[in-house]
């Protein structure tokens, strides 16, 4: 839905954006991107008794996985989001133990930051693939599966300050809730879609109940947090247009 709205141009004339993710009333002013990629390795299948006649597609992926450990070692920490997070999470290849596999693939996830964004990530991964292909008889290719951009607004910006004040005043009317604070998260949201062509758009996340409840089998929203969030929106909107 977010992609369809963005493609329809609804974000072109936005001055600010509130995304209703579960934040317990906290004002999240920055979050990492989410970048999924696949490395495909092709080789030549032969019987495992004569491996020298083939080309094991798994071996170049092992080389890539080892290189990936230090691939982003020089990336500076982002002032809001901290270090860039990166992991190899899936390796698949081979069909039977006595055959040298001719196909294998690896998948990884990276959490880009504003200081080292998705374009920089793609360039770094492609450079690693090119280097490994040049150094040996390997056939690695990079495929970007999903690329959600990081989002960040200045914590001292007027929009963020007004949002925090609105949320604190709203949640203060509902006993039992902690006083809302500023914060950051490392999960991606629909905000990443709406900043594709508007990288400097002021964006916050503000919603009911806790982020850790999301995607659970018993995910829920309490009425008090729900009502407090509505009150926060009602306070923020006119304040923004003052």
Domain boundaries, the chain: 2-32+151-240, 34-148
What's the CATH number for 2-32+151-240? Answer: 3.40.630.10
Binning pLDDT at 50, 70 and 90, where does residue 59 land?
very high
**Does the structure show a pLDDT above 80 at 237?**
yes
- What is the distance between the alpha carbons of residues 116 and 78, in angstroms, rounded to a whole number? 8
**Does the structure show a pLDDT above 80 at 79?**
yes
**Does the structure show a pLDDT above 80 at 215?**
no
**Does the structure show a pLDDT above 90 at 216?**
no
Q: What mean pLDDT is predicted for residues 186-192?
A: 87
Binning pLDDT at 50, 70 and 90, where does residue 133 land?
very high
Both structure tokens of 67: 């290189």
The answer to whether 2-32+151-240 and 34-148 have equal CATH topology is: no
What's the CATH number for 34-148? Answer: 3.30.70.360
Binning pLDDT at 50, 70 and 90, where does residue 54 land?
confident
Q: What mean pLDDT is predicted for residues 145-157?
A: 92
Binning pLDDT at 50, 70 and 90, where does residue 1 land?
confident
Q: What mean pLDDT is predicted for residues 209-214?
A: 80
Over pLDDT 90: what percentage of the chain?
Answer: 71
Long-range contacts of 79-83 (CB under 8 A, 24+ apart): 79/115, 80/29, 80/30, 80/113, 80/114, 80/152, 80/155, 80/184, 81/30, 81/31, 81/32, 81/111, 81/113, 81/114, 81/115, 81/150, 81/152, 81/184, 81/186, 82/113
Q: What mean pLDDT is predicted for residues 96-102?
A: 92
- What is the distance between the alpha carbons of residues 177 and 167, in angstroms, rounded to a whole number? 11
**Does the structure show a pLDDT above 90 at 213?**
no
Of 36-50, 113-127, 162-176, 198-212, the poorest mean pLDDT is in 198-212
Residue that wins the pLDDT comparison between 10 and 148:
148
The whole-model pTM stands at: 0.84
Question: Phi, psi at residue 114, to the nearest 5°?
Answer: -65, -35
């Amino acid at each position: 839905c977010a992609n369809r709205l963005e493609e329809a141009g609804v974000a072109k004339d936005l001055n600010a954006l509130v995304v209703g993710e579960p934040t317990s009333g906290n004002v999240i002013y920055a979050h990492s991107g989410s970048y999924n990629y696949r490395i495909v390795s092709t080789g030549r299948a032969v019987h495992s008794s004569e491996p020298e006649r083939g080309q094991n597609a798994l071996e170049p992926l092992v080389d890539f996985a080892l290189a990936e450990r230090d691939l982003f070692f020089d990336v500076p920490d982002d002032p809001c989001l901290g270090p860039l997070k990166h992991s190899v999470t899936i390796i698949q290849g081979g069909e039977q133990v006595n055959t040298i596999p001719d196909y294998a693939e690896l998948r990884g996830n990276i959490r880009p930051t504003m200081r080292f964004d998705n374009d920089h990530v793609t360039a770094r991964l492609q450079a690693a693939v090119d280097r490994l292909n040049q150094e040996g008889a390997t056939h690695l290719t990079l495929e970007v599966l999903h690329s959600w951009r990081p989002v960040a607004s200045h914590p001292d910006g007027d929009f963020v300050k007004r949002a925090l004040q609105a949320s604190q005043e709203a949640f203060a009317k509902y006993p039992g809730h902690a006083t809302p604070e500023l914060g950051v998260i490392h999960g991606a949201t629909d905000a990443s879609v709406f900043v594709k062509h508007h990288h400097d758009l002021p964006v916050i996340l503000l919603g009911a109940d806790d982020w850790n409840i999301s995607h659970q089998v018993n995910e829920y929203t309490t009425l008090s947090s729900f009502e407090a969030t509505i009150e926060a929106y009602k306070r923020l909107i006119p304040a923004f247009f003052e």
